[in-house]
Structure 1
Amino acid sequence: MPDSSFRKANEPFTGMILDKPMSTHFSVSCVTGLFQCLLCGRQIAAVEIAAHKRLHADMIGYGILWPPLTEILPRRVRVPTYESFHLAEILGVGRVYIRDEGANPSGSMKDYSVEYAVDLGVLAGHRNFSVVSSGNHAYSLCRRTQEVGARAVVFTPASSSKIALLASFPNVLVVGMRDAVFEDVYNLVMKAELCSSEGVYNANVDNENLLVGFSVIADDILSLSAAPTHILAGVGNGSYLAGIALGLSWRFGGILPKIVPVGMKGAFPAEDAFHRGVPCCKYQEFHALEDEIDAAEGSIALESYSMPQLMHGLKLTGGFPLGGLTNEDLGAAYRVLAGDAELINCGVIPEPTGIMSLAAALKWRHRFQPSDVLLLSFTGHGAKDLRGISRVSPAVSQPLIASAIRYRPDIVEQPGMPRLGTVLFIEKGTTPDELRALILEHKR
């Protein structure tokens, strides 16, 4: 397959999306192997998953299994990967690739698992899909369910910057919890069992079938002319990098590229889990001032619900976490990105959460060798968070925002967007029974 989706040293800069976003789909096949429990090591058949997870009641809501080899066809949409000589020189490494997940139909990497979830759900006869998300995961689900004529039920903190975007879709119910962080919402919904109730398909990361959706990314990575030594991406739950490690382990028999999860200062429990050598770690509160780290709203975490899978991916690849990022580090990354005219001209503008990979590479550049080949994933497009870009990098925001709008006008939140969906707000003290009753009132 030709390497037309990235720039070689002797070729012009030619990033390209290989197909129209609306043609995205997976072909789902039967899973015949056994899942591995990452907590107790037991081998689990697909029909035993629900019963087995009840044995780990303290991990409700988590992805705790490693899927067996599953054959799925590649997506018809491939996102572009670019090579940046500018960033390689600044970072002092051999090569730098930028994977632009913002080119996905919804503008983020969440499309991989969401498309797979909707395909599985529709195949099983479901018309209602549910997710807990502060933004990108929910937006991806809302967009995809509209394409297949289904309905999305989204639970989110009321502070989410993307509620207006979510509500711009018909057949969407958005429930926002006031004065809450993501974990407050997630844990309430899990206790109420609303994402796995009768007739509703669970699109959250605790659905053990969905990690497979990310595995197809490995095909693109292995097609690059130089094999990456490290794959960096900002993490929230951790399923994106865990899924890449899963796909690489299925396709490659040699030394795997190291996955490098990236996190914000005091809001990155995966880093603690790694250094303690345990599959999971939870925080009771953030270990940093929120106004120093809150620009990356999709990544600041008290709990990461794919953490056991991410820890296993780190073990498989010999990877390591890089944390300690602040809003100031994100701003520094934007200022460096602004110096790469070719990336800007191609609309490769990540949102603050999406630029965490570059921010970490800059902050921790001493961790890499001159011969290293870095793949930096820009996990979401900046067109969905123009205010965030302006806030953390005001000095260079104008050309960045102009490029983001020019290339992805379809995902820009417009003033006065019509509210076609339903938005409800609940208080932080809402009980599971009260939430179930509220959802029942709005059931279709």
Structure 2
Amino acid sequence: MKNVINCRCVKCGREYPAKPDITACECGGILDVIYDYEYIKTKLNKEVLKKRTESTMWRYRELLPIEEETEPAGLRVGMSPLYEAPAVAADLGIGKLYIKDDGVNPTASLKDRASAMAVTKAIEAGYDTIACSSTGNAASSLAGNAAKAGLKTYIFVPARAPKGKIAQLMMFGANLTAVDGSYEETFELSKAAIDKYGWYNRNAAINPYLGEGKKTVAHEICEQLDFIAPDYVAVSVGDGCTVAGVYKGLYDMYMVGLIDKLPRIISVQAEGCCPINTAVMSGEPWQPQEENTYADSIAVGVPRNPDKAINAIKDSDGICVNVSDDEIRAAQRYLAKKTGVFGEPAGVTATAGLLKLSREGRLPKDATIVSIVTGNGLKDIDSAIKSVGEPVHCKNDLSEFESKFGLF
């Protein structure tokens, strides 16, 4: 890969050749893919992108760690819509707000970006089986993308995973294990099985290439805004891989000269499970926390990518905000009614954070902000119904209908 220099540990700085099946550093630290941005500048610019017909995440392949001859595998992922939301911007008291709806990806979450990269790298490395642990979205995205690529999957999720995600996994033919325990216990079981059987490891905090897939959401945001960088990008945060990927994508675009400033990250976590934000705000090392939130996709008490996540927030001069489950529920209803975007609880947590920051007077009035919705609301119908309530029931009687709705 001419565009990649090597992989470097974010903890100890040790460097490794960028092999397709590389995982973590010997010290236990997470690896970061290091690019030759000067070389990439000779291959990628606004005019090149303007002429490019590829309308998936792979349109940015000069900024992705795949071989030049590699044919991307998996489903059609990326180029999700970026909606301007003037009514929400007015409510927030800011200049402009955009909603990046990644719930329209093939398996309905941003995690498809990482899984498409995972199956592509697994094939590069010659594997026929791929495995991961997940709170749900990474699992279903892996199962779908692997099914398309013809790979076998072994997937581990906490037993609490919503039925919608379980249904996806089973339909895609995954070998699924629902673990009676926390996400931490689920991760440990997946790690033990992967180590024993030698499967390709899709766990995002172990495999450095998966964040490189996730970062394409930031590439798209920059291009969709005509390369005028927003002031802030709001992200819901669980294990830290997504927020790290978003920052890496923004950094890529800045380093190759496609945007002229780095946006600030707004990191939003649930109050009942916020180890990364707690570490940033306190200045102390992160500590494990209980997983006390109904937003299952970000209920990660032991984050597996804390170093990259914390660095992303700090390096961007970012903002941390924690929100309650009630604030997440309110944001889910609000966003759907105001914009037509139906996000799952974790998917709307970033927007919940913006609403809270606005109430606290912490958003500049002229700011341009992008809020990423990371997953579709149909992933967790039970939670949605509890949030909005049951429909009005009525017999086939116009008078009864009018009475129930006060129409006279």
Q: Which runs of 5+ in 2 are unaligned?
A: 41-57, 61-75, 394-408
**Higher percent of residues as helix:** 2
Counterpart of 2:137 in structure 1 is: 136
Q: Which residue in 2 is equivalent to 1:67? A: 33
Structure 1 gaps, min length 5: 1-28, 399-444
Q: Deviations over 1:250-298 (max 9, x none)?
A: 22154301112210013010012212446x5231535xxx3xx22x011
Q: Is the CA contact 1:273–1:281 (under 8 Å) kept in the aligned structure 2?
A: yes
The one of 340, 345, 349 aligned to 2:342: 349
Partner of 1:39: 11
For the residue of structure 1 that corresponds to 2:296, the secondary structure is coil
Offset, 1:338: 4.3
User: What is the rounded CA distance, in whole Å, between the counterparts of 1:369 and 1:298 in structure 2?
Assistant: 29
Alpha-carbon separation, structure 2, partners of 1:267 and 1:274: 14
Q: Name the Cα RMSD after superposition.
A: 2.6
CA distance, structure 2, for counterparts of residue 147 and residue 333 of structure 1: 34
Counterparts of 2:349 and 2:290 in 1: how far apart (Å)? 21
Q: 2:27 aligns with which of 47, 50, 55?
A: 55
1:284 to 1:220, Cα distance in 2 relative to 1, 3 A: closer
The normalised TM-score by structure 1 is 0.72
Distance 1:84 1:396 in 2: 27
Q: How far apart, in 2, do the equivalents of 1:246 and 1:334 lie?
A: 27
Residues 184, 370 of structure 1: CA spacing in aligned structure 2 closer, same or farther, 3 A cutoff? same
1:98-147: CA deviations, max 9, x gaps? 00001111100001111001001012221111010121000001111111
Q: Distance in 2 between matches of 1:51 and 1:100?
A: 30
How many Å separate the matches in 2 of 1:397 and 1:186?
Answer: 42
Aligned residue number for residue 262 of structure 1: 268
Structure 2: distance between partners of 1:356 and 1:167 = 27
Residue equivalent to 1:222: 222
Identity %: 28
* 1:367 has 2:333 as partner: no
Task: Provide the aligned length of Structure 1 versus Structure 2.
Answer: 347
Aligned-pair CA distance for 1:35:
2.6
Which runs of structure 2 are paired with 1:57-96 in the superposition (5 Å)?
64-69=30-35, 73-74=59-60, 77-96=78-97
Supply the distance in 1 between the matched residues of 2:392 and 2:380 (Cα, whole angstroms): 12
Pairs within 5 Å for 1:18-417: 29=1, 32-46=4-18, 53-56=25-28, 64-69=30-35, 73-74=59-60, 77-161=78-162, 162-170=165-173, 172-178=174-180, 180-190=181-191, 192=192, 194-197=193-196, 199-205=198-204, 206-223=206-223, 224-225=225-226, 226-253=228-255, 254-277=260-283, 281-286=286-291, 290=292, 293-294=293-294, 296-323=295-322, 325-340=323-338, 343-344=339-340, 348-365=341-358, 366-394=361-389
Instruction: Summarize deviations over 1:325-381 as a string: whole Å, max 9, x none.
Output: 2221022213322442xx32xxx2111111111111111212211011110111000
Q: How much does 1:165 deviate?
A: 2.6
CA, structure 1 residues 169+49, in 2 after alignment: closer, same or farther (shift >3 Å)? Answer: closer
Please list, as runs of the form range in 1=range in 2, the aligned pairs for 1:4-23 lying within 5 A after superposition: none
One-letter amino acid matched to 2:185: D
TM-score normalised by L of structure 2: 0.78
CA–CA separation in structure 1 for the residues paired with 2:195 and 2:392: 42
